[in-house]
Amino acid sequence: MLPTVWLRDLSMLSYISAGGVIACVAVTVAVACAGTFEVGFPNHGRLVNFHGLPIAVGIYGFCFCGHAVFPNIYASMRNKSRFSHVLVSCFLICALIYGSIAVLGFLMFGDDSESQVTLNLTRGRLTTNIAIVATLVNPFSKYALAVTPLAAALEEVLPIESKSRTFLMWGTLIRTLIVLSTVIIALVLPFFGYLMALVGAFLSITVAITIPCLCYAKLFSDRIPLWERAFISLVLAVGLGSCVAGTYSSLKEIALNLAR
């Protein structure tokens, strides 16, 4: 993934990211085919598991929080007036893909579902190989786009002319260190589901739910009707509750796995 992080042109990254869209569709189709022709849909699991709900909320929040990339995408668009249409379309497509995988995984494996449903699939089968390859393509295609805002923010701190060769060298070093730090974290904390739930509950839900509601309530406090204030308060309560419960549960699970 490192060479993709060195790219600074978002128009080039968009072609790489398109591969991630194809990979997501390929994973969904492969899992559906595995369930239809190989595993079946026995569904022996519980429909609602309240014990795992905080972890699920954290993972769900993580999946829908790409907000750091939005300014870069908006700035790179040729027709910026269609940005809202792009966001709505993206969130609907993501909800459809994530929901499909969740339902398929539950119907196929129930309570035995792993953090990634591909880990449950039978090894050596064509559908399993396609799903695993597509899963590997996903981070390769999306990582650079997600990291670019962080790298750009760190580069702004450099007291160097942005178009100089020295700036490019330091920028390349910063981007390389970001990739290395990600690899180190992945090796030290190999608990994909719980780590994703922690980031989703502690950071993503805060960025996506709590802070926007607080900012909106502050900016338009004199124009918000009573029913809208009540709705915002409800959303804030849900966001804060999900943040606290999800963070506690994910940290507890990570601690238990580290102790084993």
Taking only the tens place, the pLDDT of each residue in 147-175 is 888 888 888 888 877 778 888 888 899 99
Domain ranges, residue 123: 2-151+159-259
Gap between the Cα atoms of 17 and 224, Å rounded: 39
Predicted pLDDT of residue 177: 94
From residue 150, alpha-carbon distances to 5, 144, 153 in Å are: 11, 10, 5
Which pair of tokens denotes residue 164? 């100089």
Handedness of CA 132, 205, 80, 71 (dihedral sign): negative
Give the number of domains in the chain: 1
Predicted pLDDT of residue 215: 92
The residue assigned the tokens 């980031």 is 199
For the beta carbon of residue 21, count every other beta carbon within 10 angstroms: 15
Tens of pLDDT along the chain (260 residues) come to 888 888 877 677 777 777 888 888 888 898 888 888 888 887 777 788 888 888 888 888 888 877 777 877 788 788 888 998 988 998 898 888 888 888 888 888 888 887 778 888 888 888 888 888 888 888 887 888 788 888 888 888 888 777 788 888 888 999 999 999 988 988 887 777 788 888 888 888 888 888 889 999 899 988 889 999 999 999 999 989 988 998 998 888 888 887 77
Predicted pLDDT of residue 15: 77
Predicted pLDDT of residue 174: 92
The residues near 101 (Cβ < 8 Å, ≥ 6 apart) are 27, 28, 31, 117
